[in-house]
Structure 1
Amino acid sequence: MENTVLIKNATVLPFTRQANGSLNLEPQIADVLIEGDRIAQVAPAIESAPPSASVIDAANHLLIPGFVNAHAHSMEILEKGNHEASPLELWMLYTYPPLQSQHLDARLCYLRTLIGAMEMVKYGGTTIQDDLLELPYVTPEIFDAVAQAYVDVGMRVSLSLHTINQPLHHTVPYLSDFLPADVKQDLEAAQGLSDDAWVDLFRQVYQKWQGYRGLVTTVLAPSASQRVTPDLMHRIATLSEEYDVPIHTHLLETKTQAITGPELYGESVVAYAKRHGILTHRTAIAHGVWLSTQDIELIAEAGATVIHNVVSNHRLCSGIAPIRELMDAGVNIALGSDGMSSNDSFNLFDVIKAAGLVHSAMDTSYDRYPKAADILKWATYGGARSALLHNEIGAIAPGMKADLVLYDLNTLSFTPRYQLPIHLVYAENGSSIRKVFINGQLVVDQGRVLTVNEADIVAELQDRLPEYAVHRKQILQQAERIRPAVEKMLSTAVSQSLSIHRFSRPLHYVS
């Protein structure tokens, strides 16, 4: 029997797009009827609901669409609380070890994904783009385990098949000069999937998971234009067009990456990505901190998205992204948590508040600072657009998917009650959430996830952590072999002069 829910007397922020591109954030008292997985009706009073409908009295409650976490890595969930701030290139040695040769057990991957998904849905996130970067490569078993975890929670996921087919010292400048010969040899010998095998795997996961239970979509993820070969980029571009699926990538996250393009290719890594086919209207770019004016123009012309990972950008010493310039160029902007070893949380309220604060410290043009309405657009429509789901999620309107979050307005976060968008961005932290619906299903009620047993999952994961500790010890040993060379590379890279600046003051690395 089709699930039917009538939410009555809610204070609704529709989040529907208006002619000027902004969202309708005017509160209105309305009833919302959910039939199956979609919103069937929004009206001041709905009297025609079926007798079998579950009725929720939402007086003094706020109803908004669920947030979209547009960039995350579930692989990092077991690294939560394990890392102080450090530059990306050093941090990656301990989180994404380039010499890793052993896969984690698929069950452990399933459990860690559940932990992240449960946290996110409790705090009003209903869709995640999980960029599944598993080393040495993603296996079918791991992809299946991660996808199944999201389905079991009842969460919407755009799940990527991440790929790197270049050794580390081919992806950053200067590093090859500092690496010992034996380390370079081991990096060159590291085994990943062949291009043919990776393409075949994507076709398999697409056939198995695309549209599964109305929750799963699949994504192509070249790690970065400098981390994959031109041939593979062109093949990914062809697959994206064939299946009409997003391309999810990382571009210009750090100053080192801004140096990389001119040093290795004679052009920005953004221009390099365009030349090889992966900068299109289907492309979502994580970070984009060190974008130049020319890069922004290329992204705007392509109709691509930039995903702002403001907390992670700070934690990894990357700098402050040129958000106002992206806004001026008309680029779609989304928000992401990034992974839990550079953020430690999938609670998007942390990201939302940080995104609202940091850009007001950039210059004295206070009229150009992003407003609360801008931030909320990035957290909903912007993320949906980055996943090519903007016609399905991110607004409260008939025909849209029923991904909805109900907040209690009689809480400290909303007292006194003034402009609700400002309360959401600067005062709320998720503690006022009472119910979360995804695909029409009630997933969270009064702070409890209904679809899985949280206590059992946490207990099983705790039992498996000694196994992961052995894995971590191997990673640390591998990282220490490479760290001295990476420190020297960083010192060389950050000393280079660029015409753009993304730090509040120059950073210095001591090698």
Structure 2
Amino acid sequence: MSEKICVRGGRVLEPDGSSAPYRDLIIDDGTIVDIVSPEESRGVTTQIVNATDRLLIPGLVNAHTHGHGSLGRGMGDRWTLELLLNAGPWLSGKRTMEHKYIAAALNAAEMILKGCTSAYDLYFEFPAPTPEGMGTVAQAYRDVGARVVIAPMLADMSLYEAVPGLMDSLPEPLRRQAGQFALNPFEETAAACQTFLESWTHPADEAKPALAPTIPLHCSDPFLERCRDLARAHGVGLHTHLAESRTQAVSALKRYGRTLTAHLDALGVLGPNFTAAHGIWLDDDDIARLAANGCAVAHNPGSNLRLGTGVAPIRKLLDAGVRVGVGSDGTNSSDNQNMFEAVRLAANVSRVADVDPDRWVSAGEALKMATSEGAAILDLATATGRIEIGARADIVFLDLDNINLVPFNDPVNLLVYSEDATSVKSVMVNGRMVLDNGRFTRFDCRSLVRRAQDAAEELRARTAENRQISAQLERHVAKHCLCLCREPYPVERLICDPVKE
């Protein structure tokens, strides 16, 4: 029988965020079994966790990240999404199993340090996902102590094949060099996915599989249909980058004669297990389709700003009843795994999308996206994203003496607009301390840092040729995509008007 734990002396954020009274938590076998006043817990004789001068909040939930991106921190400036994808063969290529583990562990460690306890990770393994690779990623998260849904990124077309006219616009020998980045036929990748799903052995409440046909344009229709069928057969999620850039939106009209969302709906891909990352270039009909099919959206304001892709119509999505979570995106596209920063941006970026303050995303809405709504998107086999009786004890301990929280006024406003993760002192996952007063309890973080630095240096040498090819392709990709962006599109999600400028 497990020993009960009493977390004593802290202030606990109420589920509605209205206040943070002094409350003690009774935890049994990783589950919160009671929330009592300090007076009521005085007679409790059990293991005590001292939470004096701490604010207890639910562990934040990252609805969209890329663990492989952690080794690409600080690589690139003034990249659009398509230029980031052009850099992919050297940013994320030539990885050994050791590199894959290090990248995932580094991603998980940063999230824990910054108050995030679970994530939906779209992890890239080239040329196709393997049970060994995805299992290694799962083990890395579990070693650090974070929960994860792992969805291998899938495609059967490269960037150069997916964007209409791009391959044909490349001069020789660049066209031939771009051709070497071709992906496996979809039958091979689909078979690899089936093996990955059938061989999964990790506990579903700690590490759960899913599938991520990465960008609809990069997947043939038969491949999308196969992903749809595999996900339904195995009861797992589907997660894709939907309508992220204007280039994608215009390209969809050229290829399909309809929007990306309309095309996925026609293929039967949309459903309650479907999460759309970004969802920027959605029109009203697209939003209605997502709502009617019970889909969710992972809002990634940090990378949307970093890559200049636009401002997602979050208020319209919320009004339509679409569940919205918040993601950090990959460290190679938004620079960090700081969910406090992502939450603040989720609230603030809505201010430039509408002049009516009643239509802005409130602090409470933004925090909900990063806790209970994100947890619902991950759909792990356990109750997370909230502090209440019956929920799992995934708890972040914030230092109430940190300048971010002084004076302690409205708790939700402080968490969304003031907190930057520097108040995080300890983190509990499943009733176990994985970070205790700034020190990891389950693995050697200093060793991981050394291994990550060594891996980055090794990969720079291993990917030098790919980097040179990508550099030669960059201006051609930029020019072609800019021409596409200047074509008319029914909705506008940029502050500027690219058609007129």
CA–CA distance in 1 between the matches of 2:291 and 2:442?
Answer: 40
> Counterpart amino acid of 1:253?
E
Distance 1:3-1:435 versus aligned 2 partners, 3 A rule: farther
Please state how far the C-alpha of 1:448 moved relative to its aligned partner: 1.4
Which position in structure 2 is the counterpart of 1:312? 303
Which position in structure 1 is the counterpart of 2:4? 4
Counterpart of 2:446 (choices 425, 449, 455) is: 455
CA–CA distance in 2 between the matches of 1:95 and 1:34?
Answer: 44
Is the contact made by 1:215 and 1:439 (CA closer than 8 Å) also made in structure 2? no
Q: TM-score, normalised by structure 2?
A: 0.93
Is the contact made by 1:77 and 1:113 (CA closer than 8 Å) also made in structure 2? yes
Counterpart of 2:33 (choices 31, 34, 40) is: 40
Q: Deviations over 1:220-240 (max 9, x none)?
A: 111122111211212222222
Is the contact made by 2:204 and 2:380 (CA closer than 8 Å) also made in structure 1? no
Is the contact made by 1:261 and 1:267 (CA closer than 8 Å) also made in structure 2? yes
Counterpart of 2:276 (choices 269, 274, 285) is: 285
Counterpart of 1:74 (choices 67, 70, 89) is: 67
Which position in structure 2 is the counterpart of 1:389? 380
CA–CA distance in 2 between the matches of 1:49 and 1:227?
Answer: 61
Please state how far the C-alpha of 1:210 moved relative to its aligned partner: 5.3
CA–CA distance in 2 between the matches of 1:136 and 1:199?
Answer: 12
Counterpart of 2:85 (choices 82, 92, 99) is: 92
Q: Equivalent pairs: percent with the same residue?
A: 29
Q: TM-score, normalised by structure 1?
A: 0.91
CA–CA distance in 2 between the matches of 1:25 and 1:435?
Answer: 23
SS in 1 for 2:412: helix
CA–CA distance in 2 between the matches of 1:211 and 1:377?
Answer: 28
Please state how far the C-alpha of 1:79 moved relative to its aligned partner: 1.1
CA–CA distance in 2 between the matches of 1:58 and 1:64?
Answer: 12
Which position in structure 2 is the counterpart of 1:214? 205
Which position in structure 1 is the counterpart of 2:292? 301
Q: Which runs of 5+ in 1 are unaligned?
A: 16-22
Which deviates more, 326-335 or 232-241?
232-241
List aligned pairs for 1:243-282, cutoff 5 A.
243-282=234-273
Counterpart of 1:427 (choices 394, 403, 418) is: 418
Is the contact made by 1:210 and 1:218 (CA closer than 8 Å) also made in structure 2? no
CA–CA distance in 2 between the matches of 1:191 and 1:175?
Answer: 14
> Counterpart amino acid of 2:27?
I
Is the contact made by 2:190 and 2:223 (CA closer than 8 Å) also made in structure 1? no
Which position in structure 1 is the counterpart of 2:338? 347
Is the contact made by 2:287 and 2:320 (CA closer than 8 Å) also made in structure 1? yes
Distance 1:362-1:190 versus aligned 2 partners, 3 A rule: closer
CA–CA distance in 2 between the matches of 1:358 and 1:30?
Answer: 34
How many residues align? The count is 500
SS in 2 for 1:337: coil
Q: Does residue 1:495 correspond to 2:498, yes or no?
A: no
Is the contact made by 2:123 and 2:150 (CA closer than 8 Å) also made in structure 1? yes
Distance 1:161-1:256 versus aligned 2 partners, 3 A rule: same
Is the contact made by 1:138 and 1:161 (CA closer than 8 Å) also made in structure 2? yes
> Counterpart amino acid of 1:356?
A
Is the contact made by 1:210 and 1:217 (CA closer than 8 Å) also made in structure 2? no
Distance 1:50-1:12 versus aligned 2 partners, 3 A rule: closer
Counterpart of 1:112 (choices 85, 103, 112) is: 103
CA–CA distance in 2 between the matches of 1:176 and 1:445?
Answer: 52
CA–CA distance in 1 between the matches of 2:382 and 2:110?
Answer: 26
Distance 1:401-1:269 versus aligned 2 partners, 3 A rule: same
Is the contact made by 1:96 and 1:135 (CA closer than 8 Å) also made in structure 2? no
SS in 2 for 1:402: coil
> Counterpart amino acid of 2:358?
D
Which position in structure 2 is the counterpart of 1:338? 329
Q: Deviations over 1:102-132 (max 9, x none)?
A: 6411112211222221111011000011101
Q: Deviations over 1:188-227 (max 9, x none)?
A: 5656444444334334433444552731011111112211
Please state how far the C-alpha of 1:323 moved relative to its aligned partner: 1.2
SS in 2 for 1:212: coil
Counterpart of 2:49 (choices 47, 52, 56) is: 56
Q: Deviations over 1:258-299 (max 9, x none)?
A: 101110001101111111222111111111111111111111
CA–CA distance in 2 between the matches of 1:461 and 1:320?
Answer: 33
Please state how far the C-alpha of 1:347 moved relative to its aligned partner: 1.1
Which position in structure 1 is the counterpart of 2:371? 380
Is the contact made by 1:265 and 1:272 (CA closer than 8 Å) also made in structure 2? yes
Please state how far the C-alpha of 1:350 moved relative to its aligned partner: 1.3
Which position in structure 2 is the counterpart of 1:20? none
Is the contact made by 1:68 and 1:125 (CA closer than 8 Å) also made in structure 2? yes
Is the contact made by 2:197 and 2:209 (CA closer than 8 Å) also made in structure 1? yes
Please state how far the C-alpha of 1:480 moved relative to its aligned partner: 3.0
> Counterpart amino acid of 1:316?
L
